[in-house]
Amino acid sequence: MQEWWSPSSWREKPISQAVSYPDEEELKTVLGKIRQLPPIVTSWEIERLKKRLAKVASGEMFLLQGGDCSERFSDCTPNVVTNKLKILLRMSLILIHSSKKNVVRVGRIAGQYAKPRSSPVETIDGVTLPSYRGDLVNRMQFTEKDRTPDPNRLMRAYGHSAMVLNFIRSLSEGGFSDFRHPEYWELDYIQENDNTGEFKRIVQSINDSVHFLETLVGQTLNDQLRRAEFYTSHEGLVLEYEEANTRLVPRRLDHYNLSTHLPWIGERTRKLDEAHIEYFRGIANPVGVKVGPTMGPEELIELVNRLNPYREPGKLVLIARFGAGQIAEKLPPLVEALQRKCTTPYIWCCDPMHGNTISTANGFKTRDFDDILSELKQAFEIHEDFGSQLGGVHFELTGENVTECLGGARKLQEEDLKRNYESDVDPRLNYEQALEMALLISQRMSQREEREAKKRRK
């Protein structure tokens, strides 16, 4: 028998990263309005994603999760949204080609408007104000008015999320994702290089295979090939907003968070006895949780059991983020403990971004491409060594021509960062770096497939 739960039972628990709104009555009014609005996503979409993730857990599919560190309301434009989809489509096609598995595409999109911060306040030139917590909460500009949490921004976030997702659905249904027309996915600023050439070779190889199959069966496969599924995710940080979007659905017995398909819990808010775990344990959505270097084996086992109380396949994604220098020490005990002691289903996913953040001498937060790749390679190796499975990857990336992460094919240096650094919070892989990362992952997955094939032949 599970402990009693309601969408508001988190309010009885201590909470980390809480937002302090100056006008509680105004907050209640805004939340009341959100409760009356149509949902952003539907329960059947959520259940379909859970089925897809169950196939990830069984090794039949692979999870690709990616997008902005923190979306901005100002980025709710056709170009910005389509560019994000283009990079996810290209990366997924590369992974499908190499792994011979279908890919579940989950964007950090249509709701990723809030960010945790290491300090609740920021001081500049002797003036101390609340830290910028993402467009869901306040504004980036350093004035008292802009930095004061505003509940009306919750309603704006709802509206922008709905508009973005509506556009994504229209694109998907309209044939935008048809890989036989990769020209739909081109970006104006991209210059031809070895990576784009390799991608075109992969597309041609798949096209040749499809043409052969269509010739063999005597019919075209238009409907099956012109659409691609996209799902949304965001960090469920501001629980007042998540609660307002949590509803009972007709003909279903469970509560769903209908603001997104896959909400996740961050590294700073995953304490077992606190509010975020209390809220997430009761919703029917598949959920993610960040697992970092401070996590111990027994704590992880309890966390898995708490967040997946009914032991549903596809319900829980463990998003590991250690850093290239710590993963070899910190991940193996967790993998081993879950294999030995835990019967509750889960999926391992690697986030090689958040543990590899550094600051340059000139004040930029950045990440090195080689560190990101190193953590990914180590994750694959560790899971293979323990007979476990890495089911997915999680990137902060953008389809824009930014210069925020070091390295990659163009070997970006510190002096290059100032050329086009746009992120308000964390650095992201740009389009070329993300595509290169997908190609390198695909090589790793292809090698594993070859080894497994040899084993089967023996």
Amino acid at the residue 41: V
Of 113-127, 214-228, 293-307, 318-332, which range is least confident? 214-228
Domain count, the chain: 1
Query: Domain range spanning residue 366?
Result: 9-457
Check residue 202 and give its pLDDT: 73
Instruction: Report the predicted TM-score, pTM, of the whole model to 2 decimal places.
Output: 0.93
| Residue 188 clears pLDDT 70, i.e. is over it | no
Amino acid at the residue 394: H
| Residue 135 clears pLDDT 60, i.e. is over it | yes
Q: Is 157 inside any structural domain? A: yes
* C-alpha separations of 453 from 22, 385, 390, 409, 444 in Å: 61, 18, 18, 31, 14
Looking up residue 174, the CATH number of its domain turns out to be: 3.20.20.70
- Express each pLDDT in 235-273 by its tens digit: 999 999 999 999 999 888 899 999 999 999 999 999 999
The confidence band for 100, taking pLDDT boundaries of 50, 70 and 90, is: confident
Q: Is 2 inside any structural domain? A: no
| Residue 356 clears pLDDT 60, i.e. is over it | yes
Instruction: Choose between 165 and 86: higher pLDDT.
Output: 165
Cα–Cα distance measured from residue 272 to residue 242, given in angstroms and rounded to the nearest whole number: 19
Coil, strand or helix: which one is 240? Answer: helix
Q: Is 1 inside any structural domain? A: no
| Residue 69 clears pLDDT 80, i.e. is over it | yes
Check residue 258 and give its pLDDT: 98
Residues 6+ apart with CB under 8 A from 453: none
Check residue 204 and give its pLDDT: 72
> What's the mean pLDDT in 84-90?
90
Q: Is 4 inside any structural domain? A: no
Cα–Cα distance measured from residue 177 to residue 100, given in angstroms and rounded to the nearest whole number: 19
The confidence band for 401, taking pLDDT boundaries of 50, 70 and 90, is: confident
Amino acid at the residue 24: E
> What's the mean pLDDT in 195-207?
70
Of 95-99, 137-141, 204-208, which range is least confident? 204-208
> What's the mean pLDDT in 199-205?
72
The end-to-end CA distance of the chain, in Å, is: 48
Q: Token pair for residue 409?
A: 């094919």
What is the rounded (10 degree) CA torsion for 207, 210, 211, 217? 180
The confidence band for 3, taking pLDDT boundaries of 50, 70 and 90, is: confident
The confidence band for 212, taking pLDDT boundaries of 50, 70 and 90, is: low
The confidence band for 446, taking pLDDT boundaries of 50, 70 and 90, is: confident
Question: Alpha helices of 178-296 — where are they, by DSSP H?
Answer: 194-217, 222-225, 239-244, 275-280
Q: Is 53 inside any structural domain? A: yes
Q: Is 132 inside any structural domain? A: yes
Burial-class residue 187 by CB neighbours within 10 Å (0-12, 13-18, 19+).
Answer: middle
> What's the mean pLDDT in 118-138?
96
Chain-centroid distance of CA 458 in Å reads 39
Check residue 218 and give its pLDDT: 64
- Express each pLDDT in 137-159 by its tens digit: 999 999 999 999 999 999 999 99
In the numeric block, the tokens 């790749």 are attached to: 373
The confidence band for 325, taking pLDDT boundaries of 50, 70 and 90, is: very high
In the numeric block, the tokens 């964007």 are attached to: 107
Q: Is 194 inside any structural domain? A: yes
Check residue 49 and give its pLDDT: 98
Q: Is 275 inside any structural domain? A: yes
